[in-house]
């Protein structure tokens, strides 16, 4: 197989590609489709000069990558983070393709991002940057083409600015161009909690499969942003004791269980977990060494590596983040008997409810939150059971089973559509 193009040659892309190649090799994927799916269908790099509040002009770099459009328009988040690069964005777009295919959504995968630290930008600077980025990627996006959503470092306000910028160019409101936006302009009930809620639905099904009672189980959550904090809250409401959590600065631990509501309030007011007094302060590395039933990595990619995989003391890993586990770590976890629920299944709740939001925008008809949560639970648990059945019947782990099922759906679509021209 061809080598990775140098512009995509990053650790995240290498890991995602290794997982794809292993699954494709396992079921003897058509070589022509194999070669096509190893690379993104379309990628755009943009340069954005932005006038800062002090009058200086700073030049930012941004990206939007569409991996595959065989099943429909592309879908994927936009992240604002200092580590954003083309290879990472392309890898995450590829993962979005598998995620959408796995849960049966009529989307291909996309991803976007800007290399910046949003914490260092004022609201006015963030708005100028967002609107300029939207204008630069305008040729690629649209409700029938590519639908952005929030990701690391972005939120519903960023989506509102993107939606407004796109709509200004069209001359009328186009709510379906993005998802994860405020409810007052076409957002969906249940969207903000969807990824964390889906992680917990998957966790409970995994516990049932393994014969482990939720009551008395313990959990550790790495990453205390939107996904991690909401997952922690729902874990507790289902009888699971959360003993450790962390953010980008530090971690906190309490063997008797953390008060997640108090932690969420503290993080909201202080923007950090540092200084929280009702728990023991620990490092992120120490967090991975805590004994627990369930570990939920819900931060950034590449957090569980060959260096720390052997030190984990959990029975189950439910990947709330995208690509949190490297390929080398996967092998170690497999040998140790750790039951891993891969990201493309575990954190698919966000894109599932994003799909619901998109459908509601197109229909101009909105659903009740109870209906949305019930539909989310039905879709994600159906996908889990399909993957679990396939995993058991073929004697393969859940990651490979998820990848094979997703890739097979993509391959069938490519073969049915044929080759153009």
Residues carrying an active site annotation? 111
Residue 183, Cβ neighbours under 10 Å: how many? 13
Please, are residues 347 and 321 in contact by the beta-carbon 8 Å criterion? yes
Q: How far is CA 90 from CA 34, 76, 95, 381, in A?
A: 16, 11, 9, 28
Q: Is the peptide bond before 421 cis (omega within 30 degrees of 0)?
A: yes
Please, are residues 223 and 246 in contact by the beta-carbon 8 Å criterion? yes
Cα 371 from Cα 274, distance rounded (Å)? 38
Please, are residues 352 and 198 in contact by the beta-carbon 8 Å criterion? yes
Q: Specify the DSSP element, H or E, that contains 350.
A: helix 349-363
Which residues pair with residue 110 across a beta bridge?
A: 66
Q: What is the DSSP letter of 391?
A: H
Query: What does the DSSP assignment read for 142-164?
Result: BTTTEEEEE-TT--HHHHHHHHH
CA angle 237, 345, 30 (to 5 degrees): 175
Please, are residues 320 and 231 in contact by the beta-carbon 8 Å criterion? yes
The separation between CA 406 and the C-alpha centre of its own chain, rounded to angstroms, equals 16
Helix (H, G, I), strand (E, B) or coil at 251: strand
Sequence-ordered strand ranges (E) for 206-264 = 218-222, 241-246, 251-253
Q: How far is CA 357 from CA 111, 122, 185, 392, in A?
A: 18, 29, 11, 34
């Amino acid at each position: 197989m061809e080598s990775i193009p140098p512009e995509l040659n990053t650790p995240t892309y290498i890991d995602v590609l290794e997982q794809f190649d292993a699954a494709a090799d396992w079921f003897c994927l058509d070589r022509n489709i194999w070669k096509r799916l190893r690379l993104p269908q379309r990628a755009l790099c943009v340069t954005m000069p932005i006038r800062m509040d002090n009058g200086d002009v700073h030049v930012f770099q941004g990206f939007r990558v569409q991996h595959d459009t065989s099943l429909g328009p592309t879908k994927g988040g936009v992240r604002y983070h200092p580590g954003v690069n083309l290879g990472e964005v392309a890898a995450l777009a590829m993962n979005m393709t598998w995620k959408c295919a796995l849960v049966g959504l009529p989307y291909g995968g996309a991803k976007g991002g800007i290399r910046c630290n949003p914490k260092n930008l004022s609201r006015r600077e963030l708005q100028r940057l967002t609107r300029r980025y939207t204008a630069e990627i305008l040729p690629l996006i649209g409700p029938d083409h590519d639908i952005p959503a929030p990701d690391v470092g972005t939120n519903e306000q960023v989506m509102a600015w993107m939606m407004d910028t796109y709509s200004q160019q069209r001359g009328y409101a186009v709510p379906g161009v993005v998802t994860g936006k405020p409810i007052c302009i076409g957002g969906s009930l249940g969207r903000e909690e969807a990824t964390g809620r889906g992680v917990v639905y998957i966790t409970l099904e995994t516990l049932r499969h393994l014969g482990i009672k939720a009551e008395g189980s313990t959990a550790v959550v790495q990453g205390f942003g939107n996904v991690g904090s909401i997952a922690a809250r729902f874990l507790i409401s289902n009888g699971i004791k959360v003993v450790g959590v962390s953010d980008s600065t530090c971690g906190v631990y309490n063997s008797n269980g953390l008060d997640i509501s108090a932690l969420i309030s503290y993080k909201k007011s202080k923007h950090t977990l540092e200084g929280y007094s009702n728990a023991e302060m620990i490092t992120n590395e120490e967090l991975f060494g805590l004994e627990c039933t369930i570990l939920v990595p819900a931060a950034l990619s590449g957090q569980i590596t060959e260096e720390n995989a052997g030190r984990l003391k959990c029975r189950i890993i439910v990947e709330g983040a995208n690509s949190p586990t490297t390929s080398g770590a996967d092998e170690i976890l497999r040998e140790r008997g750790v039951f891993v629920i891969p990201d493309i299944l575990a954190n698919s709740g966000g894109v599932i409810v994003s799909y619901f939001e998109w459908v509601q925008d197109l229909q101009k008809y909105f659903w009740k939150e109870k209906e949305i949560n019930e539909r989310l639970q039905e879709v994600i648990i159906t996908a889990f059971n399909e993957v679990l059945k396939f995993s058991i019947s073929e004697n393969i782990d859940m990651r490979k089973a998820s990848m094979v099922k997703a890739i097979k759906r993509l391959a069938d679509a490519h073969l049915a559509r044929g080759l153009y021209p």
